[in-house]
């Protein structure tokens, strides 16, 4: 059986890597240093899919992703909600009382302030959580710990000093699995679908209000609507929209027709089955 090829931003042991393990058996994994590089992998090689973190339940949307979605116009194949559990990792032989510094991604450090303040750790910002674990493993300083996943501890042979150190439980990241030329699923009754699009409105009064009216009149539930500026200008805004439904449904077609009438650009990024997590 042919292995699925999938790329993600970060080092092995990242939460994106954990999500891949949850979704695919024995995938061929490629690590990328930036989100842009990750998108380019799938844009240039249709054999690759990518997994991208879109938003976090505590930290909000992930920076830069909304700008890369319309630039590369990859298609969404599926969504996945991954629980995030932070752990305090150290080199083998290090003891909790020896730790003076903690290294991790800025968001992870922000989500673990209780232990950082309690222990009076000095923080070191790294590009990503798994990368901080790798840097720790490569160094010799036993006074430094990293905030990362249990998978990172396994990969880089680090000791887990303390588990689940995040300030708030229920920390979840929503990921999108994307690729080039992904075909949308055939509509089947009884299955819940999500459609995702990005649009730019015409410059006219009440354009947003009028463009979304079709969703109300056709009883189509919008689950997410976000605006973000077009790069290098304050005059134009793009909108990211998730809604429940499939493009083959008449109610969705009517709503999209109304939306299209008031937009100057409209890109469908994907139609895919809703994750079971949404039922929780």
The span from the CA of 181 to the CA of 38, in Å, is 16
Q: Which two tokens stand for residue 116?
A: 């950082």
Task: Give the chain's largest Cα–Cα span.
Answer: 65
Catalytic residue check, 237: no
> Is beta strand 48-56 parallel, antiparallel or unpaired with respect to 5-9?
parallel
The span from the CA of 27 to the CA of 22, in Å, is 11
The span from the CA of 163 to the CA of 263, in Å, is 49
Please name which of 14, 55, 39 lies closest in space to residue 180, comparing C-alpha atoms.
39
> Is beta strand 172-179 parallel, antiparallel or unpaired with respect to 144-148?
unpaired
Please name which of 175, 179, 178 lies closest in space to residue 14, comparing C-alpha atoms.
175
Exactly one of 31, 129, 173, 195 is catalytic; name it.
Answer: 173
CA atoms within 13 A on the CB side of 9: 21
Catalytic residue check, 175: yes
Exactly one of 8, 35, 39, 175 is catalytic; name it.
Answer: 175
Residues labelled catalytic: 173, 175
């Amino acid at each position: 059986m042919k292995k699925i090829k999938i790329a993600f931003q970060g080092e092995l042991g990242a939460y994106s890597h954990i999500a891949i393990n949850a979704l695919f058996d024995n995938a061929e994994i490629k690590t990328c240093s930036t989100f842009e590089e990750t998108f380019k992998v799938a844009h240039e090689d249709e054999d690759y899919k990518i997994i991208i973190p879109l938003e976090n339940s505590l930290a909000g949307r992930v920076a830069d992703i909304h700008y890369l979605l319309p630039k590369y116009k990859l298609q969404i194949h599926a969504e996945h909600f991954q629980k995030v559990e932070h752990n305090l990792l150290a080199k083998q032989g290090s003891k909790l009382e020896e730790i003076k510094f903690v290294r991790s991604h800025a968001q992870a450090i922000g989500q673990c302030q209780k232990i950082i303040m309690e222990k009076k750790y000095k923080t070191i910002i790294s590009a990503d959580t798994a990368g901080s674990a790798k840097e720790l493993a490569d160094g010799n300083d036993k006074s430094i710990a990293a905030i990362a996943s249990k998978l990172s501890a396994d990969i880089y042979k680090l000791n887990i000093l303390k588990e689940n150190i995040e300030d708030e439980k229920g920390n979840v990241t929503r990921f999108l699995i994307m690729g080039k030329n992904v075909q949308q699923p055939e509509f089947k009754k009884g299955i819940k679908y999500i459609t995702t699009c990005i649009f730019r409105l015409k410059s006219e009064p009440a354009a947003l209000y009028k463009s979304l009216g079709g969703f109300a009149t056709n009883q189509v539930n919008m689950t997410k609507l976000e605006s973000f500026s077009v790069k290098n200008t304050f005059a134009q805004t793009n909108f990211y929209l998730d809604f429940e439904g499939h493009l083959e449904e008449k109610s969705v077609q009517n709503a999209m027709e109304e939306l299209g009438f008031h937009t100057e650009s409209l890109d469908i990024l994907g139609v895919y089955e809703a994750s079971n997590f949404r039922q929780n």
